[in-house]
Amino acid sequence: MTVPFLHRVARVRSVGMELAMIAGHVLLYPTGMAAEAAREPERSSPNPSTDPSPRPPVLLVHGLVDNRSVFTVLRRSLLRHGWPQVCALNYSPLTLDVRRAAAVLGERVRELTERSDTSRVDVIGHSLGGLVARYYVQRLDGDQRVRTLVTLGTPHTGTTAGPLLDAHPMVRQMRPDSDLMRELAAPAPGCRTRFVAIWSDMDQVISPVEAARLHHPDLDARNVLVPGIGHLTMPVHGAVTAGVRRALLAAERTPGTFEAA
């Protein structure tokens, strides 16, 4: 079989998974519309005190026109594998500025660290949520409170996809020539946060797909390719959830190279 044929097969499979994800997400979306209530850490072990290295809380940040329900699978995966506290931020669908959403995220991170009696948290952002979190870390001193930021299908250098959606201010901020992109490309000396950017070669929303990789001279960033999956599938795909867990665990060990599968 030729390479173009195999590529077409992979693309058809990716589109099929995306359609299934859309159908499932339509059903779950109403469950994530309300803001998440504050809760005590959820323990996956009856004897958590035996853990020699308690893990910091994890905060999930959704993308544009979405809500925390997109993280249902990922959240369960983290809890099942020993993360004691996994929370989600719902920023308003009426939010029109990444900077404003980043300020809201900063307040939530502050509340979470105070409630959990910890100095830092880990953050996972899907799509635009990754840009919101990155802006908080780089431009609002969020690196003082965020240990690791994992982004899933985030347009770190902008995306040209969806030109008809430019009426929305946050879509315009995701364009490669936007003021926001120039801010994020500016120097960020001494940034303490560690970044892991998970991206896919079949992402239909990020164009070019390589824009979901993070390259910045001042940031400790690693890029992880998960081939053959679409943009909406990323938060629920097994290879991605496993890659997220490895990325968070690596912060507790000597940094190395991450594999998605």
Residue ranges per domain, the chain?
3-34+56-250
Closest CA to 62 of 163, 153, 192: 153
Q: Is the dihedral of CA 210, 60, 261, 224 positive or negative?
A: positive
For residue 196, CA distances in Å to 8, 220, 245 come to 29, 9, 11
pLDDT score at 257: 42
C-alpha span between 219 and 192 (Å, rounded): 8
Sheet of 146-152, strand order: 86-89, 58-61, 121-126, 146-152, 194-199, 220-225
pLDDT score at 93: 74
What is the 3-state composition of the chain as percent helix, strand, coil, each rounded to the nearest 5? 45, 15, 45
pLDDT score at 39: 55
pLDDT score at 76: 96
pLDDT score at 24: 54
pLDDT tens digit sequence for 135-179? 999 999 999 999 999 999 999 999 999 887 898 999 999 999 999
Element at 175 (helix H, strand E):
none
pLDDT score at 163: 82
pLDDT score at 255: 45
C-alpha span between 102 and 217 (Å, rounded): 22
Q: Which residues of the chain have pLDDT under 70?
A: 1-53, 254-261
CATH architecture of the region 3-34+56-250: 3-Layer(aba) Sandwich (3.40)
Closest CA to 213 of 153, 173, 161: 153
pTM of the entire predicted model: 0.84
C-alpha span between 187 and 185 (Å, rounded): 7
SS3 of 78, please?
A: helix
